[in-house]
Chain A
Amino acid sequence: MAGLLRSPLVLARAGLRASAVRVCPPTLARTFLINVKPTKKAARDDGFTGSPSSPSEAAATEIGNDSSKYRTEAIPPAVFAFANRLGLNNLSDQTLLMRIVTHPSYERVGVRTNQGLDVLGGKVMEMFVLEYLNTKYPKMPVEMLQEAVNIYTRTTTLELMAKEFGVNDVLRWVHSKPEAGHQLSHRTVKASVVRAVVGAIYSDQGLIKARDFVHAHLLSREFKLETLLQIEEPKRYLSVLMKRLGRERPVARLMAETGRQSKAPVFIVGVYSGTEKIGEGFGSSLKMAETRANKDALTKYYLEEQKDFGLPSDVEIEGKVYTPTKVGDTQIVV
């Protein structure tokens, strides 16, 4: 670091400690430090230990004493920034950070990998998504619910989330050898980090904090659930549904029309059960409009939203009273 001492620029070493600032020796070869772990020598010279706060240092020494097999790694600035972006700086055990971003393919002596957290986080994530969707849409058909949970928690979605979290900077993994039978894909590895984050929050901070994370990052995403409802014969299905509900049989009525003899007709058809309109559809032919109306009626029934609901996992919150949520019927059997 002789070059730095000669220059008029002298940064306070102590000031660097609690931040993600890294000072580089004045060589052009190291201009961009993308995902470079500081070596032990560099860490000592920089005065940069990488530990973000004193409680974590205490925890780190504890872990160090506990098992000599696993070494305590200095947290690189990229991981520190990643943690702060997601609120992981509140984890009481900061050694989890390096564990989250290390895929099992990154085999090094003394390095913990994210496999355990990955599996745990995956299950936890699925549970919270399922709980939320089931409570919000009690009448949703079972296959549709399963499909919805799958879409929220599958690798494709998690890979996108990983990109939005900035996982690429911090990820530690090793490509498969060319002759390997099964090639490890980048997207699987990225998805594993996202699941590991959830797993880490769950094991470190408890169920409610993990639930908050899943709700904030995953369930706040926009997805139209209506697209998942696929009905082969809407008229027949609606008729069976009304029979099961003990309501009057559905009758389609033309409500408005225009351009019947022209090239572009529009028909508005409403489906009525007695005097109550249960669905409406438009179309360029009477049949098309009627089909749409029947489908609309089924969508309105199956995707009925609950407002102001509590979740079963609310029992974990101290002092919160849990009122059991509505349990819906199963889908009609045709």
Chain B
Amino acid sequence: MPAPLAHPVLKNGVGAFIPQCRRLVFHYCERSGSSRGMIEYLKKDLIQFAKEHPHVEVIVTPRPSKHPVIRGLYLNGRDKVVCVRNMEPKDISGKVTLLKESAGNRMKVFNKPVISTTESVRGIWSPFHAAPHKI
């Protein structure tokens, strides 16, 4: 019989969970003032972060005369860039967590409380299967 066009779709977390952030790139400038917090973060907190998250590849590169920036790259091929100019290490840590936990998708508004591919357990209501209204 002809093979169907549909393929088995990933349900991340149902079986195994694959963390979606694959790489974090840290850019800083060695001279400019806006990178002061970033440099302190790189010295103090980054190595601990990299040890705790071995599935994330961490790259540190100087980028002279530019504001400090963190770029997160994801398994869906997209990337997220966050400028951390004039931020304290604490705030930068927050941004890193944000990038690490993201899946790389575009920001979406979710209007529904539940989104699922499986139908309801009890079935969708049908007038032919429900008890008729009795007066």
Contact = CB atoms under 8 A, between A and B. Distances in A.
A50 interface: no
A258 B126 CA distance: 13
Interface stretch (A113-121, A145-153, A200-208, A294-302): A145-153
Contacts of B117: 222
Interface in B38-80: 39, 42-43, 46-47, 50-51, 54-64, 75
Contact of A228 (B1, B18, B54): B1
A80 B123 CA distance: 46
A151 B58 contact: no
Interface residues of B, number: 41
Contacts of B7: 151, 156-157, 160, 223
Nearest to A256: B128
A52 interface: yes
Given A216-B16, A217-B16, A77 B61 contact: no
B6 A80 contact: no
Contact of B58 (A21, A215, A230): A21
B10 interface: yes
Q: What class of interface size applies to chain A in its complex with B?
A: 35 or more
Contacts of B51: 18-19
A228 B15 contact: no
Interface in A14-51: 15-16, 18-24, 26, 28, 30-33
Given A9-B42, A217-B16, A223 B58 contact: no
A163 B7 CA distance: 14
Interface of A: 7-12, 15-16, 18-24, 26, 28, 30-33, 52, 77-78, 80-81, 84-87, 89, 143, 147, 150-152, 156-157, 160-161, 163-166, 169, 213, 215-224, 227-228, 230, 255-256, 258, 266, 268, 282
14 contacts: A9-B28, A9-B30, A19-B54, A19-B58, A21-B46, A26-B61, A32-B25, A77-B58, A81-B23, A81-B55, A86-B18, A152-B8, A218-B15, A255-B128
